[in-house]
Structure 1
């Protein structure tokens, strides 16, 4: 490199470099030289960068082996017009796409494009062993679209690696309660070394999660390729099934009815709800309910829950006829906490309030870091609750009680959906250290916007599914629909807490694993793809 090239290299941010830059600044078109330049300069700068996105790019690119890098570099040098489709700072899927394209590009080079462009190609380019992608059946192929691509590109799932365990007697007993992972179309012959990779579907099958869900999953894959909305959850592999979601709007009536058959229900009768109805009675206006509850012995959890809610309103009513415009945190403590935290207390679920670190978020951000590196800070939630094993099973995002900005609602739901997926992944990794996960493993969340309280549930059926379980309007005015809204808010908050308690109860009854099963499931859990490294959304400025 000459002085001008060195100055260009040192003054350009690492995240702006692409393969075209290496071809420009290198004195030689030898791919080995380009690879050495990338390894010694760019990877080091990405690793030591203070930007999270650059460190994430380093984690992805450092896994690409040198022969594969040399293969890509040789193609880039031979045909610079196609370098835009092989940019290195991309997701793992896009790196796989680049590797798959390398064989086709090499064929074009051999046909004469190298000579037409008068570019020097390395003498060893033709003799170097090439990594040819194996052939796959149509069922194994998935479509992936990367930025700048006019048409979807075929990517492939990885063959099953643990098929050897399926033939073991101990493993057969372990898989009796849940179906074994699907056998790869390519049977492993006797004496043949099995592929060490494991397909995504097999990860979840080993973890006792269902990987098929009628014909909705292919439709979601198509939607995921076509969508371009900033706050859509589909890039993170999350199927948004909430009220008014863009994905639900693309479904026909038959598919929508199929989805609704699996909709979680939180309104089933249970003893705490029956007791609550008896305490509310036929007339639960503020005057009547306050007089009744303040004169009732607080000898049951439901009575203490109702007392806390009524006491919170007594700070404003009847002196005022409406809750004043409280700041976000103040409104959360004064109005929302009695409903949600009080309902969780009925089932002795430990909960915490106000900017609590989301453990799973920190685990994802720092998963590939050495302990000597600076750790990223976790995202924070307005409220969290934990199960008996200290896993964060419940998260929330809140706004002020008279919030009008609908963009705030969309941003909070986007953040909450990603956080719930992180928590689901983290819970699975911790559960398999001792127990066998159940099929309906779920995490829960709420979103409070203006006066509306929305309840969510995250589970997995071939894709992560974000459900809107229920919703209600928190009463903010004493003389305008207070009785109806108060009754609905108390009932639905208690029903949602009961759903969370049932999930904790099921987790507490999970069977223990043997050491061999812990190793198998532990590796499967570690190979779950984390939430994507898509950059945080940027707020538009007028």
Structure 2
């Protein structure tokens, strides 16, 4: 008769007995399962030992003589191996799962016995109420077995527990009670730490059948939420040390207070307010929150307008000759007549050549282009050409973002832990070693529904990381210039938005231009001209940022630089990227 095994009964001896008493060619996972009725836990541990055994005999001569049954067992072993762990950690993991099984079970039994006091269990439940508030009031989760147990209705005999703030007030009013309460709290905290989390929850499940569930104070939940994402605008003195504006007013309106009011109501997982970023781009939630007059004042850019013709005098004259027609073929023929020693003519010709790979065969850009093709051949030809004309170095396609990498490894000891890689940008422009411009792109045709929001959320946070990284790098030599800025572009389908981020009381994201690339031969000329002007303006603004940083760079004594480094460390790092959630029809990540 088969014997049902529990995890605590499974041992190496059981497995070795089977191996020693079964002919080598007949060893099989299926054969073992037929001899014993294995639970899910037993199956996992047996597969671990089976993999270990296979490793030991992988080089023996009998391997070439294995029959089909043995090969089937090898396949089963490979399939089950994913339950145990990575192949390179095989030996250590197997010893842990098999040899330590009995000790683990005994330790769990001993630790459960420590949680005996009803007062202890009540306190534990009160602290964990926030985890179970989403469940019905008459259900209790059992973390050990993953089930919900129905509980009977119990009269309210459980004493209420004061909130954390109320407990502080009680301590201030009654010193004798304070000493007693502290002793109890200390004992309870010790018991909580000694008991594993799954056993604590299991113990409470058994206890709550005789006592009602205490109600969690609402104030505690609110304070915990705010403590997780502290307001970065409450203390700005370190930004003042870094020579940045810490005040933000628009026609007498204190915009910092307005932003704090908005931030308190918008701390969702995909909200930029978590990181103290005020989104001043059109149609953002923050701009909708403001009154029309205040929003208009806040949107007004402090950037001076740029006249492209003053930087590139031949742009106007060449444009008059080339863009007499809007058709691609006419424009291509006209550009070939221009002097290619002129950088503007060369810029136009490079765009025409990129489009010729498609317009030689089609009247419009094919809809089956992948993201890299569309960005590299079309959108990036406008951006890179303008940046190269302005002598700005660029890279594209999966470029590691240095600021994000620094943020992810800021608290790590790289002598003992592995360095974590950062995110990747579709395009980057450099100022020395600093990535002053980042680009994100999507498919030109039919991108995924959430792609726009995801890319913009990623880009804005990466711009914040880059801003902090560049301020930190500047502090090694000098005081950062006031209003130091970084740039970015977000391309979705055929439209590209040009952004700028600076710090003024809070991080501010502003949009200073947009352009659309041509996708058809018939509309080519007009869109090409406008897109070139926007990209040349972007290049001019980046060059202006270069010049201002160099102009204001001056020697600073070491003690002053040490103070600057301390101020940089006080900047709250960008919050970790939220975990992806399973979206419903009414749920999609959007930029806030």
Mark the CA change 1:250 to 1:306 in structure 2 (over 3 Å): closer, same or farther: same
What residue in structure 1 maps to residue 465 of structure 2? Answer: 422
Q: State the shift of 1:316 in Å.
A: 2.4
Contact 1:78/1:109 (8 A) holds in 2: no
TM-score by length of 2: 0.61
What residue in structure 2 maps to residue 217 of structure 1? Answer: 256
Q: State the shift of 1:358 in Å.
A: 0.5
What residue in structure 2 maps to residue 149 of structure 1? Answer: 222
Q: State the shift of 1:342 in Å.
A: 0.8
Contiguous gaps of at least 5 residues in structure 2: 1-7, 9-95, 98-110, 132-162, 188-217, 586-592
Q: Secondary structure at the match of 1:446?
A: strand
What residue in structure 1 maps to residue 425 of structure 2? Answer: 381
What is the 5 A alignment of 1:376-455? 376-388=420-432, 390-455=433-498
Structure 2 residue 306 is matched with structure 1 residue 245: no
Mark the CA change 1:399 to 1:152 in structure 2 (over 3 Å): closer, same or farther: closer
What residue in structure 2 maps to residue 283 of structure 1? Answer: 324
Q: 1:349-403 CA deviation, whole Å, 9 max, x = no partner?
A: 1110100100111110111111220121110001111103x10101111111113
Mark the CA change 1:125 to 1:541 in structure 2 (over 3 Å): closer, same or farther: closer
Aligned length: 405
Q: Secondary structure at the match of 2:297?
A: helix
Structure label with greater radius of gyration? 2
Mark the CA change 1:230 to 1:431 in structure 2 (over 3 Å): closer, same or farther: same
What residue in structure 2 maps to residue 500 of structure 1? Answer: 542
Provide the rounded CA distance (Å) in 2 between the counterparts of 1:320 and 1:267. Answer: 36
Q: State the shift of 1:476 in Å.
A: 0.2
Provide the rounded CA distance (Å) in 2 between the counterparts of 1:411 and 1:146. Answer: 33
Mark the CA change 1:157 to 1:404 in structure 2 (over 3 Å): closer, same or farther: closer
Structure 2 residue 170 is matched with structure 1 residue 108: yes
Contact 2:401/2:423 (8 A) holds in 1: yes
Mark the CA change 1:514 to 1:416 in structure 2 (over 3 Å): closer, same or farther: same
What residue in structure 1 maps to residue 389 of structure 2? Answer: 346
Contact 1:361/1:422 (8 A) holds in 2: yes
Q: 1:463-493 CA deviation, whole Å, 9 max, x = no partner?
A: 11111111111110111x3222111111101
Aligned match for 1:27, one of 114, 138, 143: 114
- Say which structure is richer in helix: 2
What residue in structure 1 maps to residue 239 of structure 2? Answer: 204
What residue in structure 2 maps to residue 465 of structure 1? Answer: 508
Contact 1:266/1:499 (8 A) holds in 2: no
Q: 1:31-73 CA deviation, whole Å, 9 max, x = no partner?
A: xxxxxxxxxxxxxxxxxxxxxxxxxxxxxxxxxxxxxxxxxxx
What residue in structure 2 maps to residue 324 of structure 1? Answer: 366
Aligned match for 1:333, one of 376, 400, 418: 376
Deviating more after overlay: 517-526 vs 148-157? 148-157
Provide the rounded CA distance (Å) in 1 between the counterparts of 2:495 and 2:528. Answer: 12
Q: 1:283-317 CA deviation, whole Å, 9 max, x = no partner?
A: 15323321222222222332222221121122223
Provide the rounded CA distance (Å) in 1 between the counterparts of 2:182 and 2:428. Answer: 58
Contact 1:267/1:495 (8 A) holds in 2: yes
What residue in structure 2 maps to residue 50 of structure 1? Answer: none
What residue in structure 1 maps to residue 339 of structure 2? Answer: 297
Q: State the shift of 1:415 in Å.
A: 0.3
Provide the rounded CA distance (Å) in 2 between the counterparts of 1:146 and 1:356. Answer: 45
Mark the CA change 1:430 to 1:234 in structure 2 (over 3 Å): closer, same or farther: same
Contiguous gaps of at least 5 residues in structure 1: 5-9, 12-23, 31-74, 88-100, 127-144, 159-197
Contact 2:308/2:533 (8 A) holds in 1: no
What residue in structure 2 maps to residue 260 of structure 1? Answer: 299
Contact 2:309/2:315 (8 A) holds in 1: no
Contact 1:206/1:524 (8 A) holds in 2: yes
Contact 2:375/2:441 (8 A) holds in 1: yes
Mark the CA change 1:26 to 1:377 in structure 2 (over 3 Å): closer, same or farther: farther
Q: Secondary structure at the match of 1:376?
A: coil
Provide the rounded CA distance (Å) in 1 between the counterparts of 2:539 and 2:377. Answer: 19
Mark the CA change 1:498 to 1:425 in structure 2 (over 3 Å): closer, same or farther: same
Contact 1:445/1:455 (8 A) holds in 2: yes
Contact 1:152/1:225 (8 A) holds in 2: no
Provide the rounded CA distance (Å) in 2 between the counterparts of 1:271 and 1:360. Answer: 34
Provide the rounded CA distance (Å) in 2 between the counterparts of 1:310 and 1:292. Answer: 11
Q: Secondary structure at the match of 1:149?
A: helix
